[in-house]
């Protein structure tokens, strides 16, 4: 059955400009874009609201919050996944790469964390196959090199698993995100209830683990990304040497570089820089790293991720549009740029032939209110 929707009298956010016009959706694709403020019969009147491509989220921890809403509470997974999916649709995200950690530590008495990714991936993919999810889901495997079981966990996945991204994670104490041990001490002792002596022992154990397995695990993750047909990303690059190693591995984009030096080095290697929307919305990093706004002002910011606050993705795009004086450019950081970074050529742009993934947004001061969301032409929010 042919399905047609016309969204008219909208401020269209095109790849490089905005203009008043209308979009015709036909059988899940964008069929036509026309300028002008007319209202054809049967069209939805967007009342001048922004009409932009659906937002694309490359790295989100949001599912973890639904699965464990309180410490040690394991919420029924199907209900958690469906709620996570609905929340993303409600804030304009139409494509998501659900981040799942691979690589576990099971020998430490307190700071241990077990394997979960394969089983949870099966549940996500099963719900997708059953038509229970509103938006488009891919997997993002966060490969923890400072772990005991990374190789074994990676081997449980294959090209059939919709893995779009593999990111290289290194949480060795004293490195990258945890270069500042005082920040790590505060976080780990608070989370696990450790004493000073237990924390010192934990640091020694983790460093020994990294020394034994780090290089082997890093190579295994790079090889796994190739085997899956996934894009490789780096994580928490801190200096030029980190970035050079990421470039050697073939990283397409860098998640959350922690310094201006690292972001500049990424730019030199042609590696796209992704920063967290919460960093931008809050006015800085919660862990003392470089501010996303500073990278934006220095022309060193390409992609935005909502990280742990789904609603922040739209807010950050609008804030960047204001900062740069170009709404289309701000919106591109959450649509076209992430799509290109992971090789999704069918979405992220308002262009004929692209998937009919769109969102209608009303500006309310500096914020954006979702007025509608469509995935392959079907209204989901």
Q: Tell me the C-alpha distance between 79 and 369, whole Å.
A: 26
Q: Is the pLDDT of residue 198 over 80?
A: no
Both tokens of residue 54? 């659906």
Q: Tell me the C-alpha distance between 41 and 28, whole Å.
A: 20
Q: Give me the residues paired with residue 141 across strands.
A: 100, 166
Residues 16 and 149 in one domain: no
Ranked by mean pLDDT, which of 1-5, 68-72, 83-87 comes out on top? 83-87
Residues in the chain, overall count? 381
Q: Tell me the C-alpha distance between 185 and 142, whole Å.
A: 23
User: What's the pLDDT at 253?
Assistant: 97
User: What's the pLDDT at 20?
Assistant: 97
DSSP for 152-207 reads HHHTT--GGG-EEEEEEE---TTSGGG-SHHHHHHHHHHHHT--HHHHHHHHHHHH
Q: Is the pLDDT of residue 110 over 60?
A: no
Q: What is the CATH number of the domain that holds 27?
A: 2.30.40.10
Confidence tier at 314 by pLDDT (50, 70, 90): very high
User: What's the pLDDT at 172?
Assistant: 59
Domain range enclosing 1: 1-53+347-381
Query: Measuring CA to CA, which residue among 324, 168, 192 is closest to residue 243?
Result: 168
Residues 6+ away with beta carbon under 8 Å from 381: 89, 90, 92, 134, 359, 370, 372, 373
The share of the chain scoring above pLDDT 90, in percent, equals 77
Q: Tell me the C-alpha distance between 256 and 338, whole Å.
A: 14
Neighbours of 159 (CB within 10 A): 10
Residues 35 and 178 in one domain: no
User: Mean pLDDT across the stretch 22-27?
Assistant: 97
Residues 310 and 364 in one domain: no
Q: Is the pLDDT of residue 146 over 60?
A: yes
Grouping H, G, I as helix, E, B as strand and the rest as coil, residue 101 is strand
User: What's the pLDDT at 164?
Assistant: 98
Residues 117 and 222 in one domain: yes
Residues 334 and 357 in one domain: no
Q: Tell me the C-alpha distance between 326 and 331, whole Å.
A: 9
User: Quick check: 380 and 135 in contact, CB under 8 A?
Assistant: yes
Residues 90 and 12 in one domain: no
Residues 226 and 314 in one domain: yes
Residues 126 and 186 in one domain: yes
Query: Measuring CA to CA, which residue among 305, 164, 153 is closest to residue 225?
Result: 164
Query: Measuring CA to CA, which residue among 175, 192, 314 is closest to residue 234?
Result: 175
User: What's the pLDDT at 2?
Assistant: 74
The predicted-structure confidence for 268-308, as pLDDT tens digits, reads as follows 999 999 999 999 999 988 767 899 999 999 999 999 999 99
Number of domains in the chain: 2
Confidence tier at 196 by pLDDT (50, 70, 90): confident
Residues 177 and 98 in one domain: yes
Residues 24 and 88 in one domain: no
User: Mean pLDDT across the stretch 196-218?
Assistant: 72
| DSSP state at residue 84 | H
Q: What is the CATH number of the domain that holds 216?
A: 3.20.20.140
Cα 80 off chain centre by: 18
The pTM for the full model equals: 0.91
Residues 366 and 285 in one domain: no
């Amino acid at each position: 059955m042919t399905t047609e929707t016309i969204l008219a009298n909208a401020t269209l956010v095109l790849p490089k400009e905005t203009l008043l016009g209308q979009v015709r959706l036909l059988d899940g694709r964008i069929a036509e874009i026309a300028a002008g403020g007319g209202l054809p019969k049967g069209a939805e009147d967007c009342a001048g609201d922004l009409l932009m491509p659906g937002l694309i989220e490359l790295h989100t921890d949001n599912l973890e919050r639904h699965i464990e809403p309180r410490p040690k509470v394991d919420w029924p997974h199907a209900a958690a996944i469906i709620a996570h999916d609905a929340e993303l649709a409600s804030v304009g995200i139409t494509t998501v790469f659900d981040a799942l950690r691979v690589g576990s530590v099971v020998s430490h008495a307190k700071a241990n964390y077990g394997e979960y990714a394969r089983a949870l991936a099966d549940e996500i993919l099963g719900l997708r196959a059953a038509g229970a999810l509103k938006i488009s889901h891919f997997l993002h495997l966060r490969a923890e090199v400072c772990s005991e079981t990374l190789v074994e966990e990676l081997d449980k996945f294959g090209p059939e698993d919709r893995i779009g991204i593999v990111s290289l994670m290194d949480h060795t104490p004293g490195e990258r995100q945890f270069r500042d041990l005082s920040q790590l001490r505060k976080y780990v002792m608070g989370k696990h209830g450790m004493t000073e002596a237990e924390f010192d022992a934990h640091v020694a154990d983790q460093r020994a683990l990294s020394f034994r397995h780090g290089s082997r695990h890093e190579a295994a993750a790079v090889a796994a990304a190739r085997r899956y047909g996934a894009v490789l990303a780096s994580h928490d690059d801190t200096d030029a040497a980190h970035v050079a190693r990421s470039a050697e591995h073939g990283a397409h984009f860098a998640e959350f570089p922690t310094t201006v030096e690292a972001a500049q080095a990424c730019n030199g290697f042609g590696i796209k820089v992704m920063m967290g929307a919460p960093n931008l919305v809050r006015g800085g990093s919660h862990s003392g790293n470089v501010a996303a706004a500073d990278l934006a002002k220095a022309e060193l910011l390409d992609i935005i991720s909502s990280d742990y606050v789904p609603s922040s993705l739209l807010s950050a795009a609008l804030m960047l549009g204001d900062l740069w004086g170009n709404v289309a450019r701000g919106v591109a950081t959450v649509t076209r740029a992430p799509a290109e970074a992971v090789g999704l050529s069918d979405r992220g742009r308002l262009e004929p032939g692209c998937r009919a993934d769109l969102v209608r947004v009303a500006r309310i001061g500096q914020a954006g209110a979702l007025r509608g969301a469509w995935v392959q032409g079907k209204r989901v929010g």
